[in-house]
Structure 1
Amino acid sequence: MGDDILYWVLIAVMMVGVLGALLPGLPSAIFIVGAILVWGFVKGFAVVTIPLVVTLVVLLLSTGVELLATYWGVKKIGASHWSQIGSIVGLFAGIFGLLPALPFGGPLIGILLGPIIGAFVGEFLYRKDLELSARLQLSLKVCIGIVVGSLIGNIIKTILTLGAVITFIIVTWPSLST
């Protein structure tokens, strides 16, 4: 009976990981891989070999998809390399809390807003040849491209991680009754 309870707790932990794939700033991979490893220690790693390999492949794919979707969103808008560099700098500034302190959210808000603010600043600085209103409009378009690309990437990442959890359930379900 103890294995049954553990199994469902691990499934719940994996579902938190799926939510983490959708919501930026929340860990996803560590929850899913960790739950698979725990089940491997309990039931033997022969039971979790396929789900573990599928999950690792999914995590690599989802990271690539997320980066490509954001890149595609920015390129579709016509952003410069300065906005991409600004986005990366903004991400690190948000992660390490180098953005101005916010009364709520802390690093999570920094991770969400950092790339957007960085891309805006980068694009705004690059487009010196445009008048102020055109610079602002183009910089805002770049921000929208980042948000749309990130959302698409997160949705695809969520679908992939959900597939990893479903694979785990399909492969390990028979081992639950033994």
Structure 2
Amino acid sequence: MDRADLLWWLALIIQLMAIPGTLLPVLPGLAFLPLGAALWVWAEGWAAAWPEFLLAALILLLGWGADVLGMTLGAARLQATRWAYVGAGLGLLFGLLGLLPALPVGGPLLGALVGPLLGASLGELLTAPSSLGPLGLLRLRRSLLVGLAVVTGMLVSRLAQFLLALGGVAGFVLLSRVLLPG
């Protein structure tokens, strides 16, 4: 196995890490695609490997867009306060670190779902306008809906990023070994 083949395999392994990275919030996800492509550019030169790098960068940008849309559209439709997003971020951090005492089982993956739900709901509940009902039942319902919207947006975003990662890895293999072999 020569140096170029070894670097291609290493670039592919780095890119393959994007797939679990899209599902596990502790990994950088789609950022692995341009990292692997950059290694391939370094091995082959810009003139030969620019399509692979361009594809990886484009997929990373699309993934970031999916993340922004997924996190904001559902909650924005419900006119959530910014504190719902702050709460979701803190809830995600607490969930990943296993700091949610009510979750003895399930670990960080379950915490990554429950944490943002609780955080967004709590952030919305504490800061939502008090005109949502004297007893607070409407306010509580609204805060739970906002929490569900944030978590649903997160899940849709993760699914989109997962599919983009699969396409990015397949595109790298096709461009570097099938369509444009160096």
Tell me the TM-score normalised to structure 1 length: 0.75
2:168 paired residue number: 164
1:54-93 equivalent positions in 2, closer than 5 A: 54-88=55-89
Rounded to whole Å, the distance in 1 between the matches of 2:159 and 2:31 is 18
1:15 paired residue number: 16
Post-superposition shift, 1:6? Answer: 4.0
* Structure 1 contact 25–112 (Cα < 8 Å) conserved: no
Number of equivalences: 176
More off after superposition, 73-82 vs 121-130: 73-82
More off after superposition, 131-140 vs 3-12: 3-12
Rounded to whole Å, the distance in 2 between the matches of 1:157 and 1:26 is 13
Q: What root-mean-square deviation, in Å, do the aligned CA atoms of Structure 1 and Structure 2 show?
A: 3.3
Post-superposition shift, 1:12? Answer: 2.8
Identity of aligned residues (%): 30
Matched, 1:153 2:164: no
Rounded to whole Å, the distance in 2 between the matches of 1:103 and 1:42 is 47
* Structure 1 contact 33–55 (Cα < 8 Å) conserved: yes
2:33 paired residue number: 32
Tell me the TM-score normalised to structure 2 length: 0.74
Alpha carbons of 1:164 and 1:177: their partners in 2 closer, same or farther (altered >3 Å)?
closer
Alpha carbons of 1:18 and 1:134: their partners in 2 closer, same or farther (altered >3 Å)?
same
**Structure 2 unaligned runs (5+)?**
none
Q: Which of 128, 131, 135 is the matching residue for 2:130?
A: 128
Alpha carbons of 1:61 and 1:137: their partners in 2 closer, same or farther (altered >3 Å)?
same
1:44 paired residue number: 45
Alpha carbons of 1:143 and 1:163: their partners in 2 closer, same or farther (altered >3 Å)?
same
